[in-house]
């Protein structure tokens, strides 16, 4: 149980909600600088099986998976902050986070369309797969 009788969160609960909130922040669009290291590689791995079905599914799957990682990040961050604040969540900068996601999505689409970012078997080193 995370709540003590006085409306505050116990130490194990604070640790749990802090970890959930930090993980959520890292996956959320609020940490736009971390997308290159987390969200985009996760989206790439999740898009790979779709590209095995059809090469034309790679880009939509990549974008869909990227948006899902951002949504999961926002939900985890909301859960972490809510658990720490016992429901007293301050307003987040949703417009800035949405704008960052749109910009990164456009950037990923441009990389795929230009041929810089490809499905794994389209790279020269993977031609034998």
Structural domain boundaries in the chain = 11-119
CB 34 within 8 A of CB 73: no
Distance CA 71, CA 109 (A): 19
CA-wise closest residue to 35 among 66, 61, 60, 63: 66
DSSP 3-state of 3? strand
**Dihedral angle sign, alpha carbons of residues 120, 122, 124, 129:** positive
- Prediction pTM value: 0.66
What's the pLDDT tens digit per position in 60-119? 999 999 989 988 888 888 788 777 776 555 555 667 667 777 887 888 888 888 988 887
């Amino acid at each position: 149980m995370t709540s003590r009788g006085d409306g505050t969160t116990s130490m194990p609960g604070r640790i749990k909600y802090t970890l959930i909130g930090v993980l959520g922040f890292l996956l959320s669009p609020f940490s736009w600088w971390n997308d290159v290291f987390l969200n985009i590689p996760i989206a790439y791995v999740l898009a790979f099986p779709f590209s095995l079905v059809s090469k034309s599914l790679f880009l939509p799957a990549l974008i869909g998976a990227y948006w899902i990682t951002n949504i999961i990040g926002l939900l985890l961050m909301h859960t972490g902050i809510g658990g720490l604040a016992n429901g007293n969540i301050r307003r987040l900068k949703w417009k800035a986070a949405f704008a960052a996601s749109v910009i990164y999505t456009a950037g990923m689409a441009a990389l795929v369309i230009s041929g810089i970012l490809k499905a794994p078997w389209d790279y020269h080193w993977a031609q034998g797969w």
